[in-house]
Amino acid sequence: MSQFQTLVWREWRQNRRGWMTLLLLPTLLMLALLVWSAIQGHGVINMGPKLRDELPPAFMVLALTVSLLGLQGLVVAGGLVVQAGGLARRDRQDRSIEFWQALPVSDTKSVLATLVTHWLLWPLAAAWITLGLGLVVGLVGVVFDGGVSALAHVAWGPTLDAMLHPGLRFTVGYPMALLWISPVILAVMTMSAWFGRWGFPGVIMATVGTHVWLRLQHGSHWVGDVLRGLSERALLSVLPSSEPAEVIRLIKGSTVQFEQGSATMTQALNSVLPEAVKAYKQWIWQSLEVSVSQLIDQWALSVLLLSAALVALMVLRRSPRRLVVLRWVPAGLLKASGH
């Protein structure tokens, strides 16, 4: 096992309980809500008894899976934001940095292992595990709503297909999204590494102050435009850029058949399900080409350079040689100026 793999394994060992808790809490909450709904007799999906009874079980599985994914995404993102500042100064707070610096492990690898594990590997793993847990929650919902016999009516092929492609799309797009938001993440972590608990407030005050000063003095909204541009590119990396028009059209058509009485809701939706899943997959992947093309423009280069500089500052803060460097910089500037 390489040094980097060992450092990643260390992150897993230190954080596995917290990560497992974050994964299980939304799932347990969803299951508790299903049990409560079953006890109260409201049904799993509150859409009126007639319409709910006519919905295919596959719809319920997908609806509950999407709900769990959304809830889990908020929990994971919130945990990362809360933990961001503390990660940068964790080893100094628990004094384990003295142990790690006594080992033949570079500070660069230590910093990169923390970043890769927490901001790349953990969210990707959480997404796929949540997809599996969402399938379990969906099947439990089907059983609560229609009994065990309802499982036989789940269209497994289209259902699993509709769950697999969003997972693949997120796996491909999330690293690109992470690139676009990395300056914000690394700025918070770098400031926290150097200034402790004042790092996060410092980033906010510096950002707001710069934005206000540029707007008042020069009439420029440069800070807001940059943050908006980064967020839009990050969202485009993981989400389609438009509504699923074809999917909506097919579902509306099946709803019309149901309202006219020419077919039950199950029959109407099942008739368009294969075509709807095909259109849904095309919609999921449609913005990927645009996202990839954005990786070769000047924005991407600027983000990479800024992120690399921030990582270097984090490594410098961690390194015991930083005092030598910080003393050399002013001396070098004085020498260059002729003093």
Residue 333 has pLDDT above 50, yes or no: no
In a domain, 258, yes or no: no
In a domain, 255, yes or no: no
Q: Tell me: the pLDDT tens digits for 93-133?
A: 666 666 666 666 778 888 898 899 999 999 999 999 999 99
Residue 208 has pLDDT above 60, yes or no: yes
Measuring CA to CA, which residue among 259, 65, 86, 232 is closest to residue 163?
65
Q: Tell me: the pLDDT tens digits for 268-317?
A: 666 777 777 788 788 888 878 888 888 888 889 999 999 999 999 988 88
Q: Tell me: the pLDDT tens digits for 41-90?
A: 655 555 444 444 456 777 788 888 888 998 999 999 988 888 887 877 77
In a domain, 326, yes or no: no
Reduce the DSSP state of residue 48 to 3 states and report it.
coil
**Residue 177, amino acid:** A
Q: Tell me: the pLDDT tens digits for 167-177?
A: 899 999 999 99
Token pair 């992150």 is found at 11
Measuring CA to CA, which residue among 243, 256, 239, 246 is closest to residue 276?
246
Please, are residues 246 and 281 in contact by the beta-carbon 8 Å criterion? no
> For the whole model, what pTM was predicted?
0.81
pLDDT at 239 (0 to 100): 83
Helices (H), the chain: 3-40, 49-54, 57-88, 90-93, 97-101, 107-116, 122-146, 156-195, 199-218, 222-238, 245-260, 265-285, 288-293, 298-318, 322-337
pLDDT at 21 (0 to 100): 92
Q: Tell me: the pLDDT tens digits for 217-251?
A: 888 888 999 999 999 999 989 888 777 777 777 77
Range of the domain at 32: 3-241+287-320
Domain count, the chain: 1
In a domain, 236, yes or no: yes
In a domain, 18, yes or no: yes
In a domain, 81, yes or no: yes
Q: Please report which confidence band the pLDDT of residue 339 belongs to, taking 50, 70 and 90 as the band edges.
A: very low
Q: Tell me: the pLDDT tens digits for 139-193?
A: 888 887 777 877 777 777 778 888 888 889 999 999 999 999 999 999 999 998 8
Residue 167 CA to residue 123 CA, distance in Å, equals: 12
Instruction: Convert 181-213 into a string of H (helix), E (strand) and C (coil).
Output: HHHHHHHHHHHHHHHHHHHHHHHHHHHHHHHHH
In a domain, 163, yes or no: yes
pLDDT at 48 (0 to 100): 45
In a domain, 253, yes or no: no
Residue 109 CA to residue 80 CA, distance in Å, equals: 20
Q: Which residue has the higher pLDDT, 278 or 18?
A: 18
